[in-house]
Structures are given as structure tokens and as C-alpha cells.
Amino acid sequence: MLVKDLGEFRLIERFRKRILLDSSVIAGSGDDCAVLKFDKKRYQLFTCDMIVENVDFTLKDNPYLIGRKAVAISISDIASCCGLPWYCLISMGMPKNTPVKFVDRIFKGMLDISREYNINIAGGDLSRSGRIVIDVSMLGLVEKKNLTLRSSARTGDCIFVTGELGGSILGKHLRFTPRIKEARFLAKNFKVNAMIDISDGLVQDLRHILKQSKVGAVIYEEFIPLSPKARNLSDALKSGEEFELLFTLPRKEAKRILNKKLVTFKFIGEIVDRKYGFKLINEAGKIKDINLKGNSLTGFTHF
């Protein structure tokens, strides 16, 4: 059997079954960040993300934006747990004939976004490789009362997203703004049950919440916020590297958001009992089973 036969998520699950954790780990693999004990009021958040040439960027892309993206992805993970980033380590692999000017621009992108979010670049590593690879490990902190994971969605919750979806490959994947400000606002003012950032597509990342929370969902076509660059609805449902927040909260809290007319946050559906599965309802009222084998609504996977 080959990795491509197993697939990304089955491979992750294969690894997870072999991992043993001690009591200092509150939440491990299976969420946007690992959650570690820190002090009486806060948890430490720990995440890492890798971007690879010809997978996540090309050499035709602006090197400054490549560097910015490498760090921004991990900031987005911290945001999805409602925390604040603090430290990072950066490792880079590159061919030995890579122009120094190109690498300088990558690093400038890393420096600027780290300064913007008050992140300390505390070290890293360099290695020769066949193509450019950048891996960022990041630490953050979150108040215990504000920690939001994928596993706490409840039946009756409303589902929201930030921003607009679709067409990220046309530039947003390099220029997105991590939603730290929005996540902290939500944590301070509302009771959010579950949250994830959209890195693999709306449908696929909502599936992660449903699996971890053991619930089902209904989303409504008419409420999916389409980006002007989205080709169609399918693009908005599948497009990866949006890095918007996808979250659920009780109906009472949802009404408060809607009454305040907070346009950043857009209602798209509801959490239902697990037995109802995962459904999309179009504007004509027709129901599509998203989990049905053979449907085309799958997001990005590496294998």
C-alpha cells in the first residue's frame, strides 16, 4: 500500500493511534493547536505548519508574500483557538543555488508579519533541499475561559464564518489577514462553542468539527458568502487556504450577533443531531447529502 492509497487523514489517524501523551497535554493531535498546561489562568498553544514550493506557492510568487504566508498560517491556527501568538521558530530548506536576494525577501515577509503580531522569532534551522520548504513552529497563550476547540459544537448551534469564500488561489492565499482580532472579539463578547480556520475548504473543515463533536450539520446555499473571485458555489465550498474562521455558537448568541449587524460574521447553517448527517440545502429547498460517497464537495488533501 502507498501513502496515496491511504490518504492524508487516514495517515494522520494511523500516527495518532500510536501517540501516548502525559497529563501536561490538554489536547493533542486533532485540533488546530496542541493545548498544554501553563499556569492557573492560561493554556499554552503550540502549532506548526509547513509550506512547500509547487504545493503552497511557486517561484513566480512574490517572495515577500511567501515568507508572510509561512508565518501567517500558524497565526491563523492560534486565532482559531482564540489565543494570541507569542514565539516562533522557523526552519527553511532550499537549493544551494537559490538567489540570496530571493531569500532576503522571504525573510522580510516573515519579519514584518511577526512584528505586526508581536511575535518573537526565537530561532530556527537551515538545510539544503531540492526545493524551498519553510516550516514554522509557534507558541501562543489563551485564557482557559476563552479556549475554543473543534470538539464542543452542540446540537442547535448556529454556524458562522468570517469574510467571503472562494477564489483563494487567485491571491488571497498569499495575502490573507489572520483573524486574531475577530477571534479575540468573539471570545470576549460571545459564548463560542467550536471553531476552526478554513485551510482545506469549508466543507472539509466543517467535517472536522462534526467528527470531533459527534454531531451533524445543515448549511444553506443562499447564505454562503461568495467572494467576487469565486468561480461558483462549489469553489466557495471546496476552496482551501481561505484562513477564515468557521465557528458555532448557541442560537441565543447567534441572535445577538445578527441583532448587532456585525457584518464580518455570516450565518451559514445549523448544527443538528449526528443521525441527520451533513446536508446542503439549495435555494429551491432541495437537499444534498454532502457525505454521500461520490459527491464532488471535497476539499484539499495532500495525498
Q: Judge whether 46 is annotated as a binding position.
A: no
Residue 125 known to bind ligand:
yes
Q: Is 49 annotated as a binding residue?
A: yes
Q: Compute how many other C-beta atoms are within 10 angstroms of the C-beta atom of residue 151.
A: 16
Whose cell is 458555532? That residue is 248
CB 45 within 8 A of CB 141: yes
Please tell me whether 239 is known to bind a ligand.
no
Is residue 213 marked as binding? no
Q: Is residue 278 a known part of a binding site?
A: no
299 is in an annotated binding site: no
Nearest C-alpha neighbor of 112 from the set 75, 176, 68: 68
197 is in an annotated binding site: yes
DSSP count for the chain of H helices, then E strands: 9, 13
To which residue does cell 491563523 refer?
76
Q: CB under 8 Å, gap of 24 or more: what pairs does 54-57 form? A: 54/131, 55/302, 56/173, 56/241, 57/174
15 assigned to a ligand binding site: no
Does 22 belong to an annotated binding site? no
Q: How far apart are CA 114 and CA 89, in angstroms?
A: 11
**Is 300 annotated as belonging to a binding site?**
yes
- Evaluated on CA atoms 144, 146, 148, 151, the torsion sign reads positive
273 labeled part of a ligand binding site: no
Q: Are 203 and 292 in contact (CB under 8 A)?
A: no
CA 124 to chain centre: 23
Cα separation, 166 vs 198, in Å, equals: 11
What are φ and ψ of residue 17, in 5° steps? -65, -20
Report whether 270 belongs to an annotated binding site: no
Q: Which residues 6+ apart lie within 8 Å of 267 measured at CB?
A: 158, 159, 160, 223, 254, 257, 258
Distances (CA, A) of 37 to 41, 45, 146, 184: 10, 9, 14, 20
CB atoms within 10 A of CB 197: 27
Show binding-site residues for substrate: 56, 241, 300
Show binding-site residues for ATP: 124-125, 150, 199
Show binding-site residues for Mg(2+): 32, 47, 49, 77, 125, 197, 200
Show binding-site residues: 32, 47, 49, 56, 77, 124-125, 150, 197, 199-200, 241, 300
